[in-house]
């Protein structure tokens, strides 16, 4: 009991500090009242990710297993054929999609999806697929990586892909909820980030290549349910959002070989009972989140760095969508420190699943629902 009380006391202490940051108000720049949501496309079924094609069109994934092309004027294509089988159950399905940095020359895209187990066995795991988009058709479709092991779970499939400066893929992988202890086990891919090349292989420099029994693809461990990944445009650091349980949502900078604590170190508690899961940090050997939310979760989702001049005073900021919070957060940064934050009223009033900055410099948001929307966030 004393462990639980101490954990809750520490969590509330840090919560007060976090709320103090949240209460900061920015002076100058675009305010929440100056934002104008413009619906680009409507009627998307639980859209999960958007990627921008060079010709101004966009690729959008729908969780049930459809990959569609959306034109700048909002026309939505039929589902592209050729995707591998997708296990669309619960939180799992067709998830992220990104373009290869060399898409103009190789037409390659990469996507994550829940791959079903074979032979009538219940279970799935998050996989990474690759294809070429040629004349609006998918060709050379191949699954290049599969999370191991497969788990009979409908939860924590959530994943994101981000390319680093070397053209390598970093992929966030959930702990599958029922297997949270495996987030600390380097022999599997549950609750980890991985770094792979375009063929799904572990490149030189991965931190666990020489560790006997460890999965060679691992980049970091101790994660719960990763929902956002974005590389800092100046430093090249990988920033990440993940869901905690009841409280304990986090923003982290993900570094090579580091352990982010779950479920041994967390500010979240068990659903319903509010009993301690691990213990709050700091604790030697585990990384502290840059920002966490207690006691109420906001359910963070997609991340993006603002590099354009579309929003006065925002350049260099980090923006983050939320599902439960149905809001967009903006963080002003001082190096790795979050110097101030603001919860923006976008006028959307829906769960925000993905946030990306488009080639035109505007922010694009995907709302999560049976009638999801692709929204461009402009200023009045």
* pLDDT average, residue stretch 316-344: 96
- Of the pLDDT bands very low, low, confident and very high (cuts 50, 70, 90), residue 345 is confident
Q: Which of 375, 364, 320, 301 is nearest to 91 (CA)?
A: 301
Q: How many CB atoms lie within 10 A of CB 43?
A: 11
Q: CA dihedral defined by 331, 333, 338, 341, rounded to 10 degrees? A: -30
Q: What CA–CA distances, in Å, run from 84 to 125, 285, 298, 323? A: 13, 39, 33, 28
**In the prediction, which pLDDT does 158 show?**
83
Is the pLDDT confidence value at 10 over 60? Answer: no
Is the pLDDT confidence value at 6 over 50? Answer: no
Domains of the chain in start order, with CATH, are: 2-45+155-379 (2.120.10.30)
First-to-last CA distance in the chain?
53
Residues 48-74 have pLDDT tens digits of: 999 999 999 999 999 999 999 999 999
- Of the pLDDT bands very low, low, confident and very high (cuts 50, 70, 90), residue 34 is confident
**In the prediction, which pLDDT does 28 show?**
37
Higher pLDDT pick, 304 / 28: 304
Q: Where are the beta strands (DSSP E) in 164-270?
A: 169-173, 192-196, 218-221, 226-231, 238-242, 249-254
Is the pLDDT confidence value at 21 over 60? Answer: no
Is the pLDDT confidence value at 4 over 60? Answer: no
Report DSSP letters for 81-146, one per residue: S-PPP----TT-SEEEEEE-TTHHHH-EEEEEEEEEPSTT---EEEEEEEEEEETTEEEEEEEEEE
User: Rounded CA gap, 300 and 329, in Å?
Assistant: 9
- Of the pLDDT bands very low, low, confident and very high (cuts 50, 70, 90), residue 75 is very high
* pLDDT average, residue stretch 271-283: 95
Residue pair 169/161 in contact (Cβ under 8 Å)? The answer is yes
Instruction: Report the chain's C-alpha Rg in angstroms.
Output: 20
Q: Which two tokens stand for residue 144?
A: 């290049």
The SS3 assignment for 366 reads strand
Higher pLDDT pick, 15 / 328: 328
Q: Which two tokens stand for residue 12?
A: 């509330």
User: Rounded CA gap, 61 and 131, in Å?
Assistant: 14
* pLDDT average, residue stretch 225-248: 98
Name, in order, each residue with C-beta under 8 angstroms of 292's C-beta and a sequence gap of 6 or more: 14, 18, 244, 248, 249, 250, 251, 267
Residue 118: is it exposed, middle or buried by C-beta count within 10 angstroms (0-12/13-18/19+)? Answer: exposed
Residues 141-166 have pLDDT tens digits of: 999 999 999 999 999 998 999 999 99
**In the prediction, which pLDDT does 29 show?**
45
Please give the model's pTM, rounded to 2 decimal places.
0.92
The SS3 assignment for 183 reads helix
Residues 105-141 have pLDDT tens digits of: 999 999 999 999 998 889 999 999 999 999 999 999 9
Report DSSP letters for 322-337, one per residue: ESSS-SEEEEEEETTE
Share the mean pLDDT of the chain: 92
**In the prediction, which pLDDT does 9 show?**
46
Instruction: Give CA angle at 317 (236, 32), nearest 5°.
Output: 155
Q: How many CB atoms lie within 10 A of CB 179?
A: 17
Which residues are annotated as catalytic? 156
* Range of weakest confidence among 6-20, 27-41, 116-130, 326-340: 6-20
b (16+ CB within 10 A) / e for 63-75:
bebbbbbbeeeee
Q: How many CB atoms lie within 10 A of CB 142?
A: 12
């Amino acid at each position: 009991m004393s462990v639980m009380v101490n954990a809750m006391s520490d969590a509330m202490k840090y919560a007060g500090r976090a709320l103090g940051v949240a209460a900061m108000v920015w002076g100058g720049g675009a305010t929440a009242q100056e934002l104008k949501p413009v619906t680009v496309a409507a009627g998307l079924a639980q859209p999960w990710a958007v990627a921008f094609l060079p010709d101004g069109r966009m690729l959008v994934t729908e969780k049930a297993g459809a990959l569609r092309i959306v034109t700048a004027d909002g026309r939505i294509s039929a589902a592209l054929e050729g995707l591998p089988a997708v296990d669309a159950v619960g939180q799992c399905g067709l998830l992220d999609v990104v373009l290869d940095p060399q898409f103009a020359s190789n037409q390659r895209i990469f996507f994550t999806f829940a791959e079903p187990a074979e032979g009538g066995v219940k279970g799935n795991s998050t996989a990474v697929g690759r294809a070429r988009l040629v004349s609006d058709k998918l060709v050379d479709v191949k699954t290049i990586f599969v999370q191991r092991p497969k788990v009979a779970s409908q939860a924590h499939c959530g994943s994101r892909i981000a390319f680093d400066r070397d053209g390598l893929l970093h992929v966030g992988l959930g702990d599958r909820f029922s297997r949270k202890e495996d987030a600390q086990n380097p022999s599997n891919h549950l609750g980890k980030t991985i770094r792979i090349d375009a063929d799904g292989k572990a490149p030189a420099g991965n931190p666990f290549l020489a560790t006997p029994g460890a999965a060679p693809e691992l980049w970091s461990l101790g994660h719960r349910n990763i929902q956002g990944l974005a590389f800092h445009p100046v430093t090249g650091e990988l920033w990440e959002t993940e869901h905690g349980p009841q409280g304990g949502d986090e923003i982290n900078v993900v570094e090579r070989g580091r352990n982010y604590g779950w479920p041994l170190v967390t500010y979240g508690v068990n659903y319903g009972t509010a009993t301690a899961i691990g213990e709050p940090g700091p604790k030697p050997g585990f990384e502290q989140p840059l920002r966490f939310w207690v006691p109420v979760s906001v359910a963070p989702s997609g991340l993006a760095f603002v590099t354009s001049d579309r929003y006065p005073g925002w350049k260099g900021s980090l923006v983050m969508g939320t599902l439960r919070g149905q809001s967009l957060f903006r963080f002003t940064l001082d190096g790795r420190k979050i110097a101030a934050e603001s919860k923006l009223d976008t006028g959307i009033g829906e769960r925000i699943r993905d946030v990306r900055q488009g080639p035109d410099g505007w922010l694009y948001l995907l709302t999560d629902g049976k009638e999801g929307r692709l929204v461009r966030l402009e200023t009045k």
